[in-house]
Structure 1
Amino acid sequence: MRFATWEVDGRVTAGVVGTLPDGTVGLHELPARTTVLDLVRAGLPAALEAGARALEGPAIPVGSVRLLPPLDAPTVRDFVAFEEHVEGMVAPSGEAVPAEWYQAPTFYFTNPYALIGAHDDVAVPPGSKRFDFELEVAVVVGADGASLTPEQARDHVFGYTILNDWSARDLQAREMKVKLGPAKGKDSATTLGPWLVTADELEPYRDDEGFLALDMRVSVNDVEIGQDLLSNMGWPFEELISYASRGTEVRAGDVLGSGTCGNGGCLAELWGIRGDGAPPPLQPGDVVEMTVEGLGTIRNRVVGGLDLPPVAPARPRSRSRKRAQ
């Protein structure tokens, strides 16, 4: 089943994705004030039951609404689970993939307030000249848990959605030289959508090693830039959830991104491999489209961002340890 959240004339509604008599996508409304996060917290069986009831009601065309992120995620973690992506990112330095990458799945927390919908415009972050996309899939946790084993974590999966981790590469590079981040480099926008697909729908794509072999593609201005299989992850999503919960807890509704896929999943990877700036950074007017098998398509247009004053540099310090008299 597929769950969505949308807005019409200022009214936000959650519902189930279905098919209209003419074969196009329709949206069936859930009871008033019910959110997709409510359904996730209620658990998959209850969510499927509520969705089945909603499908019995009328539907509106998806083209008549503004799709929002499918759920209001309380937290968003983003992993770096594709070895090929890391290879491209370290290529300019001539280094190999760090040995530490193989030891455990690494992630950072990103901004849950910056989530945008499947067709929303995305603004270039203030001061950035090297704006980029990142093609990912995200898993949504379906039940609270702590220090879960991978086997336990599989029962904590509610579903999956497409994630585009928009990245200001110049801001990110500066921050990471301070041994922190990415922070502002990843703070401006994250597309989530178009809907949340329940885990049972994707089981037919699971391969013999337990990975979901979904085709992933990204294009800019209708020219394909990258293509990969989700099954090229170094760890399955169950391992990512298990690691995120290690010594702490995950909660229903938490979103965990796979990290950028390889083979052109972002521009920076291609810049590293090719040793030049082609394709160029994203500019206002560019349209980025991502399609993942079984999950749908998101399509966002890049627009100009705010023109803000430069950030003030740190002030010189005397290193005095006593107050002036």
Structure 2
Amino acid sequence: MRIARWTHNGDLSEGFVIGDRVVAFADGATVADTLARGLGRAREDHEQILHQLRESDASAVPLADVVLLAPLVPASIRDFVTFEEHVEGVSAGVEGKSHVAPEWYEAPTFYFTNPHTVHAPGQELHPPVTERLDFELELAAVIGAAPAVGESNLTAAEAASVIFGYTIMNDWSARDLQAREMQVRLGPAKGKDFGTVLGPWIVTADEFEQYLDEEGFLQIRAEVRVNGEQVGEDLIANMGWPFPELVAYASRNSRVVPGDVLGSGTVGNGGCLGELWGRNQGLTPPPLREGDVVAMSIEGIGELVNRVGATVAGPELPPARPRTRRRHLADPATS
């Protein structure tokens, strides 16, 4: 099953993509409602709509006639870093040689990014002023509800049952801004939070069972092209941890809820320019510029395409002011 959000003649709809058509959920339901009800209920709703389409296709709209939106409004977005090859390449650009910290192997590290700046398939990106704009090719899991499974401290088996489906994720990055922020040992922040793309739709988890190997890794291909030229390709199975273990870790002493998005982190072998810059010890291929078109494809899902638009300069702020570091207010009687 494929689930999407779209506009048609100015009206917002949410529902299923069936073949080359889209059909809205019954009773005005939303993707958020569908995730909260769980995958089992989604299958029932899908079967009902298929039955209705056999009788009449009046409710269906050609996919070519709609404008796709991001397939969900995320409750949160966690972005992991699970591809060892990606870490090796990026570290070579930062440290001058490939290095994977021992701590990387201990647990699947992630950061939270901004759910309020999610872009749609085909939407033009307007990044901040940057000299090192980059893409990041990722697979993302979308969380739904599962019967008799909680939200906290899930086992990997329990976590597998709350994965509703998957979508493609492009975690845009301004590497020069990110590099400054990481020197403060906090972040990334403004180097990342200006745009994340999800889409073109959510493909439900049952569609991927055929690709799972004996350890639970997804044996599917991921590719990225810039202006039609392939830059990177990898297998999602090269992750250090399968997705259920990422979800279980995210839930540890915390919560995962329907609508949460968990990115795999950037795939290796050219899943981003930053990795290639590290390996090539220079800006080859060149950073993205206005007019560049980034096209990502992942087996079993489809293609996600976006164009880079003009940069947008935010208001200037002054640097930190030197302060006295005194600990007490001055006595008004002596001032």
- TM-score for both structures, normalised by structure 1: 0.95
Paired letter, 1:173: A
Match of 2:77 in 1: 76
2:47 pairs with 1:52: yes
Q: Distance in 2 between matches of 1:268 and 1:41?
A: 37
Shift of 1:323: 2.3
Shift of 1:99: 0.3
Match of 2:184 in 1: 178
Match of 2:64 in 1: 63
Matches within 5 A, 1:300-311: 300-311=306-317
1:211/1:236 contact within 8 Å kept: yes
**1:152-188 deviations in Å (ceiling 9; x for gaps):** 1111111000000001111111111000001111101
2:142 pairs with 1:140: yes
Paired letter, 1:132: D
Highest CA radius of gyration, 1 or 2? 2
1:16/1:29 contact within 8 Å kept: yes
- TM-score for both structures, normalised by structure 2: 0.92
Q: Distance in 2 between matches of 1:33 and 1:184?
A: 36
Q: Distance in 2 between matches of 1:61 and 1:223?
A: 30
Residue among 36, 40, 44 paired with 1:41: 36
Match of 2:103 in 1: 100
Q: Distance in 2 between matches of 1:120 and 1:63?
A: 16
1:15/1:54 contact within 8 Å kept: no
Paired letter, 1:118: P
Paired letter, 1:155: S
The count of aligned residue pairs is 319
Matches within 5 A, 1:194-233: 194-233=200-239
Shift of 1:294: 0.2
Shift of 1:9: 3.8
Q: Distance in 1 between matches of 2:287 and 2:281?
A: 14
Q: Distance in 1 between matches of 2:317 and 2:137?
A: 30
Q: Distance in 2 between matches of 1:84 and 1:294?
A: 23
Percent of aligned positions that are identical: 52
Shift of 1:49: 1.3
2:115 pairs with 1:109: no
Consecutive unaligned residues in structure 1, runs of 5 or more: 20-24
Paired letter, 2:210: P
Consecutive unaligned residues in structure 2, runs of 5 or more: none
Secondary structure in 1 aligned to 2:64? helix
